[in-house]
Amino acid sequence: MAYDTSVTPDAVADLSAREIRRSVMGRWGLRAGVVIGWMAFIGVWYVFSGAVLGTQQLPPPHTVAAEVWQVVTGDGFGTTLWASLFRVIVGCTMALSASIVLGMVIAYSAWWRGLLGILTRFFVSIPTVALAILALILFGASGLGPMLTAALVATPYVMSSVAQGLTRVDRRLIVMSESFGRTRSQIITGVLLPSSVLAVIGGARQAFALAWRITLLTEVFASSDGVGFQIKRSFESYDVRGLLAWTALFIGLMFIFENFVFRQLERRAFGGAHVSLATAESTR
């Protein structure tokens, strides 16, 4: 041999220990960054509350936190939450079922894609506030309005992401199946559905986030209960504390669903492999 290529295992271990330290420190640095970010957020809030807008206009974080606690422990919290959650779940389910069907239709038929494309573009450009008020005109304050509006608004978006998931299916697999003389329905159940689980879960996630926002907005106009109604009541009685407390609760709820419900679903669908990737991504 022309060169001495031997390395002692100890030397490598020593060198790599250094690299590991560097990368771990990098990771802790990023975690510290998250903490700094939240501290800055709260700090800016205090500054605005104390020096810019006044505590009456913008209550400081600890006051809002106390109000959150009061709302959560007070009566009627469960009823209010359930009123909204029920609408979200029903609206979301309607949107998702419609989207799966329509998504397939537009993914595989150019004609329907054209027609539904125009119709959905029309719906997408109606400001949601207008839809909320139309729901009020049509259904009054019955609570049916928020549900249907949520379904109607979420459907175009979810439909297009389901359709996109379906069109990303490897065409070569379809060509392969056709060349082996598989029927249309065999191709759908054997190739398309398995490869579009991801798109459907993504669609559900999107439907949920959208349904929450629309339900909230529609409840402001066309409901006499639910989180949106509480937010409006706080607004009408100039109660910024209540407004912010309910908003914080809303954000917390979204966070819980995103991190527990949908992560779990994905874990089921991907047998864990995907999850470790997701965590790798989030620690980076």
Partner 1 sequence: MATILIENLTKVYPPTPTYPQQVQALGGVSMSVTGNVFVAVLGPSGSGKTTLLNIVAGVEEPTAGAVRVVQDGVPAQVGYVFQEPRLLPWRSVLDNMLYVQNRKSDRSKREAEFYLSMVGLSDVAHLYPAQLSAGMQQRVGIARAFLVNPDVLLMDEPFSHMDALTGRSLRDYLQRIWAHTRKTALFVTHDVGEAVELADRILMLRPGGVVFDDIPVNLPRPRRPDDAAVHAVETEVLRRFDSMEAAVRFGDQRN
Partner 2 sequence: MSYATDLPTTSEFGQVPGTPQGSPAEAVHWTRKPWFVNALAVAILLVVWQYLHSVNGRVPSIDEVVSFLGVELGGGSHGGVSRGEFWGPLSISLQRYAIGLAIGIPVGGLLGLLIGGSRRFRSVLNDTVLVLLVLPSVVWAFAASLWFGIGSTAPVVAVVLTAVPFMAVNLSSGIRGLDPGLALMSDAFRVPRLRRATHLLVGGALSNAVTGVRLAFMTSWNSLLIVEWFGTASGVGWRAKHWYDAQRFEGFVAWILLFVVFITLLDWLVLRRLEHRSTRWQQQPTLTFAEGEIA
Site for partner 2 in 76-115 (CB under 8 A): 106-111, 113-115
Spatial separation of the C-alpha atoms in residues 118 and 163, rounded to whole Å: 16
Question: Is residue 209 part of the contact set for partner 2 (CB under 8 A)?
Answer: yes
Among residue numbers 22 through 81, which ones bind partner 1 (CB under 8 A)?
22-23
CB of 275 vs partner 1, minimal distance in Å: 11
**268 touches, from partner 2, partner 1, none (C-beta below 5 to 8 Å by class):** none
Burial call 130-159: b when 16+ CB within 10 Å, e when fewer: ebbbbbbeebeeebbbbbbbbbbbbbbbbb
Contact, 99 vs 162, CB < 8 A?
Answer: yes
Structure tokens at 262: 């949908």
Among residue numbers 56 through 75, which ones bind partner 2 (CB under 8 A)?
57-58
Contact, 142 vs 80, CB < 8 A?
Answer: no
What's the one-letter identity of residue 89? I
CB of 208 vs partner 2, minimal distance in Å: 11
Q: Report the residue from 15, 42, 66, 251 that binds partner 1 according to the rule CB under 8 A.
A: 15
Question: Is residue 11 part of the contact set for partner 1 (CB under 8 A)?
Answer: yes
Question: Is residue 124 part of the contact set for partner 2 (CB under 8 A)?
Answer: yes
Structure tokens at 223: 């409901």
Spatial separation of the C-alpha atoms in residues 62 and 42, rounded to whole Å: 10
Handedness of CA 264, 265, 271, 275 (dihedral sign): negative
Question: Is residue 110 part of the contact set for partner 1 (CB under 8 A)?
Answer: no
Among residue numbers 242 through 281, which ones bind partner 1 (CB under 8 A)?
276-277, 279-280
Structure tokens at 60: 């400081």
Among residue numbers 228 through 267, which ones bind partner 2 (CB under 8 A)?
228, 231-232, 234-235, 238, 240, 243-244, 247, 250-251, 254
Binding residues (CB under 8 A) for partner 1: these are 1-7, 9, 11-12, 15-16, 18-20, 22-23, 276-277, 279-280, 283
